[in-house]
Structure 1
Amino acid sequence: MGENDPYTILQIVLNPDGSLTRPTLFPLSNPRAEAEKPHHVFSKDVPLNPSKKTWIRIFRPHFSTQTAPLPIIIDFHGGGFVFLSAASANIHVSCERIARHVPAIVLAPEYRLAPEYRLPAAYDDAMDAVRWVRDQAISDLQRDTWMTPDVVDFSRCFLMGSSAGGNIAYHAVLRALDLDPTFKISGVILNVPYFGGEQRTESELRLAQDRILPLYANDGMWQLALPGGADRDHEFCNPMTPGSYHDRVGSLPPCLVRQYGGDPLVDRQRSFVRMLEGRGVHVVSRFVEGEYHGADFFDPKQIQALLTDVKDFISSVNGGP
């Protein structure tokens, strides 16, 4: 074990049974039954797939003057497929901000983590969440009281994710093209999406000792997340690799892709944008000079920039809120 050992860098212990002992990066937050200040957002948890022990945290802004149904955002959290939860305090607060600022109904699915559940487990859980929303849209019997048509506009459903959550949102929207054509995803919001590959990029080498996402930690998380025996050119990691859904890319709805100049992944994200555009996808690309991977969780200026970008993008699709 040393300074370049991913387990040391990530502060994790791989147990003999293949499970991880993880550090507590953030405390867990309970849903808020009351929309107390300064949040003004109600939240509650509902089951998703009991056999997988997955669930969804729903965030609903408190607006007594709301006159129109709100768009819905299914927001997948980051954490390299290995860390965090929909209940993690930083994720909870971020979803509250989005729900309040856009405004929108925000769903934060609790998906299974690697290595206990390697990819595509997270994609499968993401599709469970998408199908749950679809079923709410078409079934009076299953409709949740927070998800009625006077509250939610089911014709404006967006997938969103930051870092690994962006990777999940991308793979989920490709799979969602198989769903009933009466239910469509209106757009995809990919905030610093987490992609990789075997060949190092200039930004990965230049920022190999990055304080947020050093190269060895990055490699370690992919080693834990990918199917056994797969390398970083697997389609789950490298979106340039032809795979099961690669030929569907041109059918994607509009995409917002955000990148930071100081992120080791920025070169991959730029290549990803070029790939989407080359397939005819309408892409809104937002590049911020400098800054670091995950800046929008900690820097008030970048938090506000993310909220503005999300609101503007949703407003530009299907007529906006």
Structure 2
Amino acid sequence: MSQTELPDQSTSPDMASSPPAPYIVEDYGRNLQLLSDGTVIRFEDYNTLPPPVLPPALSVVQWKDVVYDSGLGLKLRVYKPPAAVAGEKLPVLVYFHGGGYVIGSFEMDSFHACCLRLAYELTAVVLSADYRLAPEHRLPAAHDDAATVMSWVRDQAVATGDAGDPWLAESADFSRVFVSGDSAGAGIVHHVALHLGSGQLVVDPACVAGCALLFPCFDGVERTRSKALPGPYLTLPYSHQGWRLALPQGATRDHPLANPFGPESPALDAVALPPLLVVVAQLDLLRDRDVDYATRLKAMGKQVELVEFEGQHHGFFAVEPFGDDKLVRVVKRFMYGIGGDAAASN
């Protein structure tokens, strides 16, 4: 169990000399508690996902941890598969894990397994990045960290000598960078795409060739039909409480960081978004939001492929990293340009 005291707590000279003892204002189940004085108590045994059994074939994928922001002590995990040809340059997949912006890490067994599989089956260098979590660091902290990750990738593309990571210098094709993530990680991907398309984030000479959003964590105040769907890992109360912990204090789920088409969200018509792959799960309570996102962007003329997985729930890839071969095939088709036209279902 870890305990963190949030900043920005103030006292008044008019307060009594013996303030009341801190009390719980948010009890987020097995994950954490937020106390009235801003203290956050995190529980180390929050992970309820079944431990994945790694196929022996994945042992050929090498991995290591690298610091991408020394000031904040933030790291990413680099995965390097065996190249088909010695010295072959491979596409780069930047990956952001899920967890509602509140929990999760690239070190979790399930996310580690997902990235091992992606590196192996996509034949790509995978960069799985951690980012600051709420409520200690409310949004947009995670998006700021994602921008730092992308700037680190840009710097690696031009680095020489000891300034560059040797694995990336040897294997990475920075002209074929893709950005992906699941759930909250997919929400981060949207904002990376938005900042790239609007010019707020520049990664030249690296080139982001596309973004793959896996069951993105979007929301809004208006109730959608799919929100009535029960989920084994994501329920409506759990989702809403997560947003209360993640968004700026006092913000609603129509905040632009939660709702890409909320009343105060930036217009996307003129934004030159990179090609997008949006994967949704049929039984996900966020399904309608995700489909609406892809549909609206397609109506604007954006290049968007929408793929729906029947019978699946939110987060199914992290829950069972080796459970559905079709997901990785869909991402590979998107990355390597096989197929081309948008799909309505899978």
What TM-score, normalized by structure 2, do the two folds share? Answer: 0.81
| Higher Rg of the two aligned structures | 2
Q: CA deviation at 1:26?
A: 4.0
- CA offset at residue 315 of structure 1? 0.5
Q: Helix, strand or coil for the counterpart of 1:72?
A: strand
* 1:144 maps onto 2:158 in alignment: no
Deviation at 1:160, TM superposition (A): 0.2
1:234–1:8 CA distance, 2 compared to 1 (3 A): closer
2:209 matches 1:186: yes
Deviations along 1:34-88, one digit per CA (max 9) or x if unpaired, are: xx85421111111111221211110101247445210001000000001111111
Q: 1:233 to 1:93 in 2, by over 3 A?
A: same
Q: Which residue of 2 aligns with 1:89?
A: 109
Query: SS in structure 1 opposite 2:27?
Result: helix
Unaligned regions of 5+ residues in structure 2, if any?
Answer: 1-24, 49-55, 341-346
Structure 1 residues 103 and 217, CA gap change in structure 2 (3 angstroms): same
Quick check: 1:46 aligned with 2:66?
A: yes
Contact 2:255 2:265 in 1 (8 A): no
Q: CA–CA distance in 1 between the matches of 2:121 and 2:190?
A: 23
Counterpart in 2 of 1:14? Answer: 34
- Contact 1:43–1:60 (8 Å) recurs in 2: yes
Deviates more, 1:241-250 or 1:14-23: 241-250
Counterparts of residues 137-286 of structure 1 (less than 5 Å): 137-141=157-161, 142-148=163-169, 150-177=170-197, 178=199, 179=202, 181-204=204-227, 206-207=228-229, 209-241=230-262, 243=264, 245-247=266-268, 250-286=271-307
Deviations 1:202-249 (A, max 9, x none): 110x21x42211111000000000011111000000011255753476
> 2 CA distance for matches of 1:245 and 1:10?
35
- The answer to whether structure 1 residue 108 and structure 2 residue 94 are counterparts is no
Matched to 1:313, the amino acid is F
Q: 2:325 aligns with which of 281, 304, 316?
A: 304
* CA RMSD after TM alignment: 2.3
Query: 1:32 maps to which residue?
Result: none
Cα gap change, 1:184 to 1:192, in 2 (>3 Å) = same
Structure 1 position 184, deviation (Å): 2.7
Q: Is the 8 A contact 1:195 1:239 kept in 2?
A: yes
CA distances 1:285-311 after superposition (whole Å, capped 9, x unpaired): 111122111112334675312111111
Report the CA distance shift for 1:103/1:261 in structure 2 as closer, same or farther (over 3 A).
Answer: same
Amino acid at match of 1:156: R
- Normalising by structure 1, report the TM-score: 0.87
**CA-CA distance at 1:139 after TM superposition:** 2.4
**Runs of at least 5 residues in structure 1 that lack an aligned partner in the other structure:** 28-35
- Tell whether the 8 Å contact from 1:12 to 1:23 is kept in structure 2 after alignment: no
8 Å CA contact retained: 2:158, 2:205 = no
After superposition, the Cα gap between the structure-2 partners of 1:12 and 1:138, relative to the gap in structure 1 and judged at 3 Å, is: same
Q: Secondary structure at the match of 1:296?
A: helix
Instruction: Choose from 122, 129, 134 the match for 2:154.
Output: 134
Relative to structure 2, which stretch is displaced further, 111-120 or 281-290?
Answer: 281-290
State the distance in 2 between where 1:276 and 1:140 align.
Answer: 39
Structure 1 residues 25 and 63, CA gap change in structure 2 (3 angstroms): farther
Distance 1:146-1:8 versus aligned 2 partners, 3 A rule: closer
Shift of 1:19: 1.9
Q: State the secondary structure of the residue aligned to 2:251.
A: coil
Rate the CA distance shift 1:300–1:225 in 2: closer, same or farther, 3 A. closer
User: What is the aligned partner in structure 1 of residue 51 from structure 2?
Assistant: none
Deviation sequence 1:156-193 (CA, Å, 0-9, x none):
00110100000001101222342155433110000000
* CA distance in structure 2 between the aligned counterparts of 1:81 and 1:300, rounded to whole angstroms: 20
Does structure 2 conserve the Cα–Cα contact (< 8 Å) formed by 1:20 and 1:115? Answer: no
SS in 1 for 2:277: strand
CA 1:276–1:22: 2 relative to 1, 3 Å: farther
**Shift in Å, 1:284:** 1.1
Alpha-carbon distance, 1:22 to partner = 3.2
Q: Residues 246, 10 of structure 1: CA spacing in aligned structure 2 closer, same or farther, 3 A cutoff?
A: farther
Cα displacement (A) at 1:7 = 2.8
CA distance 1:249–1:129, shift in 2 (3 Å): farther
Give the secondary structure class of the aligned counterpart of 1:146.
helix
